[in-house]
Amino acid sequence: MQTIRKRALLALSAMSFGLVTASASWSAEMLDEVMKRRGLTEKDVLAAAKTYVPTGKRDEFLAFSSGGQSGQLIVYGIPSMRILKYVAVFTPEPWQGYGFDDESKKVLAQGRINGKDILFGDTHHPAISETNGEYDGRWLFINDKNNPRMAVVDLHDFETKQIVVNPIMKSEHGGAFVTPNTEYVIEAAQYPAPLEDEYVPLEQFNERYRGAVTYWKFNREAGRIDPSQSFSVELPPYSQDLSDFGKGPSDGWSFTNSFCSERYVGGIEKGRPPFEAGCSQKDTDFLHMINWKKGAELFKAGKTKMINGHPVITMETAVKEGMLFLIPEPKSPHGADVSPDGKYVIISGKLDSHTYVYSFEKMMNLIKNKDFVGKDPYGIPILDLKKSLHTQVQAGLGPLHTQYDSKPCVAYTSIYVDSQVTKWDYCEGKVLDKLSIHYNIGHLMTMEGDSVTPKGKYLVSLNKLAIDRFNPVGPLHPQNHQLIDISGDKMELLYDMPLPLGEPHYAVAISADKLKPIIRYKSGWDTRTDKRHPNRTRPGKEKVVRDGNKVTVFGTTIRSHITPEIVEVKEGDVVTFHMTNLERAQDQTHGFAISGTNANLSLEPGKTASVTITADKPGVYPYYCTEFCSALHLEMQGYLLVQPKGYKEVAVKGAEGTIYTQTDYDKQHKTNLETQEVIDSVVAYIVARNYQDFAPVVSLVEDATEQLGFAADTRKKAEDFAAKQDWQNATLWAGQWWQYQVKAADIGLRAKTYLDQHGAKVVKE
């Protein structure tokens, strides 16, 4: 053991004095040789150069993609397409402890449907919060189509904070989209159903089944949706689809399209033509145009009907108050995308080859002049399609969604059947360029492409099927996100990224510099409520409290031990662990897992998380840290002992594993003093330089200083025991002292390397 320590010490000192240099194995293979060897064309190499982000460098944009059926959110960088995180939203996710710790279980429980836990989510459309129509990078919302729910993700820590269940819908699709100042988040129904939670025979589809849109009020200060200030608008039983909010001149309005305005009910098993035939018979469906500001006034004035305890503006009221209109739109449309200047809404029909540019100004004039072509069966006024249109463009077969460029009037539309992206000018109404993508594009995304100031540069084509694009991994294929360069006149395909997590529907991308995530929590933090945790524990205050058969453990973690290390309980006890990670250092996450249970916590620096288990089987259950957090991570362990009922404690005598003598102590003591010299030299090296100018180094120095404080405390313990000639305790505490030193040295060397690599200057000799 001592020889290993010696060697480690030598390595430390060698590194600190720069004796070890990186082995010069870099062979200067020429670019053309690599191209030949790997069969790359010049175009490939150019594409690679446009996406490659060198080691240590960061991406310009961050994309947030729906995780489809996984109920999660996928975060990746652009242009590198490197996946950075899966954020757990609607479903348990072990790495983040989501659905395993008591705090996140409460968030998931908010999403229960009829009292039942829902273990998946069909996430569709993420939306980033906006200020004056610009992405502000503070919050993110995402919806669940199958069990109509909306989730709030905090972009300070990328954690899900809230789930709300839609009180009147049975399925949804047209969410999440936000108003230009994030006052509301919209959610539109998909398959009509009775708004009241009850059985209604399908024969009464026209009379009793309904669609709806819900306007969820977002309280920015609280960082939560406020259901008590939210309301809905009743809509006809057309299958509402996608939505968008107006901006600029159209601010105050929202747009939701629909399919199956035929109101067809299938029944293939009874010999009726299936839904797909009956829902695509007419040449047009209906775009709903809703004045949500008016809706908010009506809600305040109490002009709503309570359904399932939730205020709903009925169609009758909405028509009477002049806040709801319909406009025909191309057959089976799928996207409704408001232009950055708010003057147009672009809609494409999957079964039409045109994209339609609706003019908000024209629509408002028709409304003002009461120039309607008629009413639908529910009395909603219908605007004339031709009179509402600005222009119409032949974009390709099966156009779906539209996103915008930083260049004025330039839009991109996904063409599903032709598997293309069409670049076109929606002011002039002409096609500019077409690019074939690999297969069946669904949504597409440009950088901040649905804000008032899109950033251009890149477009990602979210292809539904990957087919033969990647190495086969069985019949269930990943999806394919294709990165496209849109900075020039011609679009250029750069890169294919497989996405192996559900069917990502929509994605949004934001300039990375707008995100300001934290690196640690305030100490003892409940990350799901964003408050100090009532059961946090400070260092030295760890304890185990018994109350009847309830046992509560107030524990801590810090490199590299869990306190307490031994917990003894009795069969039948209900045991709650409140674990606080005392670390302040960046990325010093610890895990906590107990054998034979689902206890599994992720403890990021500062976090307090809890887990409750029932000790129903007597036995011995090791617990440990699940993150490789330090050299002595494997030693970050403990035991939960469950005594059988009626067990009588008798003094059992056992031997120590190893007996230590004064020689052992002296050897360790000497090693520690030598280690201190190395540390001192590293410290001198750092403080002689302008390390204060480097934020990462400043936090490393803070961390190292903390470790050295612990080292000093344990040194005192060791030396006190030595004075009493208790060589066993003296040697072991000296060993612990050395552990803190090694951690401090390790951090110090990381700081030194950083300074060397970033050209720090000597400020004092």
- Measuring CA to CA, which residue among 264, 182, 194 is closest to residue 226? 182
The reply to whether 559 sits near ligand RUQ by the rule CB under 6 A is no
Identify which of residues 505 and 578 has a Cβ nearer to ligand RUQ in the complex.
Answer: 505
In this structure, the strands spanning 525-526 and 72-78 are unpaired
Distance of CA 559 to the CA centre of its chain: 28
Distance CA 712, CA 534 (A): 31
- Measuring CA to CA, which residue among 686, 668, 692 is closest to residue 747? 686
The reply to whether 125 sits near ligand RUQ by the rule CB under 6 A is yes
Identify which of residues 149 and 334 has a Cβ nearer to ligand RUQ in the complex.
Answer: 334
Give the one entry of ligand RUQ, ligand CUA, none that residue 140 binds, where binding means its C-beta sits below a cut-off of 5 to 8 angstroms depending on kind: none
Residue 632 Cβ, how far from ligand RUQ at the closest point, in Å? 48
Residues 68, 237, 396, 442: which binds ligand RUQ (CB under 6 A)? 442
Give the one entry of ligand RUQ, ligand CUA, none that residue 420 binds, where binding means its C-beta sits below a cut-off of 5 to 8 angstroms depending on kind: none
Give the one entry of ligand RUQ, ligand CUA, none that residue 400 binds, where binding means its C-beta sits below a cut-off of 5 to 8 angstroms depending on kind: ligand RUQ
H or E, element range at 638: strand 637-643
Residues 153, 400, 493, 732: which binds ligand RUQ (CB under 6 A)? 400
Identify which of residues 557 and 675 has a Cβ nearer to ligand CUA in the complex.
Answer: 557
The reply to whether 604 sits near ligand CUA by the rule CB under 6 A is no
CB neighbours of residue 716 within 10 Å: 12
Give the one entry of ligand CUA, ligand RUQ, none that residue 625 binds, where binding means its C-beta sits below a cut-off of 5 to 8 angstroms depending on kind: ligand CUA
The reply to whether 633 sits near ligand CUA by the rule CB under 6 A is yes
Token output for 282:
């007419």
Contacts of residue 70, Cβ cutoff 8 Å, sequence gap at least 6: 86, 91, 120, 121, 123, 501, 502
The reply to whether 149 sits near ligand RUQ by the rule CB under 6 A is no
Please work out the total of residues on this chain that contact ligand CUA, with binding judged by CB under 6 A: 8
- Range 313-342, binding ligand RUQ (CB under 6 A): 334
Among the candidate windows 142-150, 178-186, 564-572, 624-632, which touches ligand CUA by CB under 6 A? 624-632
Residue 762 Cβ, how far from ligand RUQ at the closest point, in Å? 57
Residues 169, 575, 599, 636: which binds ligand CUA (CB under 6 A)? 636
Token output for 550:
């309830």
Residue 243 Cβ, how far from ligand RUQ at the closest point, in Å? 10
Residue 506 Cβ, how far from ligand RUQ at the closest point, in Å? 5
The reply to whether 742 sits near ligand CUA by the rule CB under 6 A is no
Residue 101 Cβ, how far from ligand CUA at the closest point, in Å? 16
Among the candidate windows 52-60, 101-109, 182-190, 627-635, which touches ligand CUA by CB under 6 A? 627-635
Length of the chain: 765
- Mark residues 524-563: x for contact with ligand CUA by CB under 6 A, - for none: ------------------------------------x---
Cα angle 89, 92, 93; round to 5: 85
- Asked if 642 and 621 touch (Cβ cutoff 8 Å), the reply is yes
The reply to whether 124 sits near ligand RUQ by the rule CB under 6 A is yes
Distance CA 734, CA 715 (A): 6
Residue 464 Cβ, how far from ligand RUQ at the closest point, in Å? 7
- Asked if 410 and 432 touch (Cβ cutoff 8 Å), the reply is yes
Among the candidate windows 145-153, 429-437, 626-634, 747-755, which touches ligand CUA by CB under 6 A? 626-634
The number of C-alpha atoms within 13 Å of 308 and in the hemisphere containing its C-beta is 15
The reply to whether 627 sits near ligand CUA by the rule CB under 6 A is yes
Distance CA 591, CA 262 (A): 55
- Asked if 570 and 642 touch (Cβ cutoff 8 Å), the reply is yes
Please work out the total of residues on this chain that contact ligand RUQ, with binding judged by CB under 6 A: 11
Look at residue 124 and give its three-state secondary structure. Answer: strand
Token output for 295:
């809706």
Residue 441 Cβ, how far from ligand RUQ at the closest point, in Å? 8
The reply to whether 455 sits near ligand RUQ by the rule CB under 6 A is no
Identify which of residues 156 and 590 has a Cβ nearer to ligand CUA in the complex.
Answer: 590
Residue 367 Cβ, how far from ligand RUQ at the closest point, in Å? 28
Residues 156, 536, 590, 689: which binds ligand CUA (CB under 6 A)? 590
Give the one entry of ligand CUA, ligand RUQ, none that residue 124 binds, where binding means its C-beta sits below a cut-off of 5 to 8 angstroms depending on kind: ligand RUQ
Residue 414 Cβ, how far from ligand RUQ at the closest point, in Å? 7
Residues 629, 640, 686, 700: which binds ligand CUA (CB under 6 A)? 629
E-strand stretches of 361-425: 372-375, 381-383, 389-394, 399-404, 410-415, 420-425
The reply to whether 477 sits near ligand CUA by the rule CB under 6 A is no
The reply to whether 350 sits near ligand RUQ by the rule CB under 6 A is no
Distance CA 152, CA 158 (A): 10
- Measuring CA to CA, which residue among 116, 113, 114, 91 is closest to residue 104? 91
Look at residue 19 and give its three-state secondary structure. Answer: coil
Residue 69 Cβ, how far from ligand CUA at the closest point, in Å? 32
The reply to whether 383 sits near ligand RUQ by the rule CB under 6 A is no
Give the one entry of ligand RUQ, ligand CUA, none that residue 633 binds, where binding means its C-beta sits below a cut-off of 5 to 8 angstroms depending on kind: ligand CUA
Among the candidate windows 270-278, 456-464, 628-636, 730-738, which touches ligand CUA by CB under 6 A? 628-636
Token output for 575:
């045991």
Identify which of residues 338 and 629 has a Cβ nearer to ligand CUA in the complex.
Answer: 629
Token output for 128:
């980033």
Distance CA 410, CA 389 (A): 18
Distance CA 706, CA 740 (A): 9
H or E, element range at 276: helix 275-278
Residue bearing tokens 């404080």: 709
Three-state secondary structure along 422-483? EEEECCCCEEEEEEECCCCEEEEEEECCCCCCCCEEEEEEEECCCCCCCCCCCCCCCEEEEE
Return phi, psi of residue 699, to 5°.
-75, -30
Distance CA 564, CA 637 (A): 10
Distance CA 339, CA 168 (A): 30
Residue bearing tokens 């107990």: 594
Token output for 304:
């709503």
- Indicate the residue whose CB is closest to ligand RUQ: 442
Which residues make beta-bridge pairs with 338? 345
Distance CA 553, CA 555 (A): 6
Number of continuous H segments (helices) and E segments (strands) in the chain: 13, 45
Residue 605 Cβ, how far from ligand CUA at the closest point, in Å? 11
Identify which of residues 176 and 704 has a Cβ nearer to ligand CUA in the complex.
Answer: 704
- Range 221-280, binding ligand RUQ (CB under 6 A): 242
Give the one entry of ligand RUQ, ligand CUA, none that residue 52 binds, where binding means its C-beta sits below a cut-off of 5 to 8 angstroms depending on kind: none
The reply to whether 625 sits near ligand CUA by the rule CB under 6 A is yes
- List residues binding ligand RUQ (CB under 6 A): 124-125, 173, 242, 334, 400-401, 442-443, 505-506
- List residues binding ligand CUA (CB under 6 A): 560, 590, 625, 627-629, 633, 636
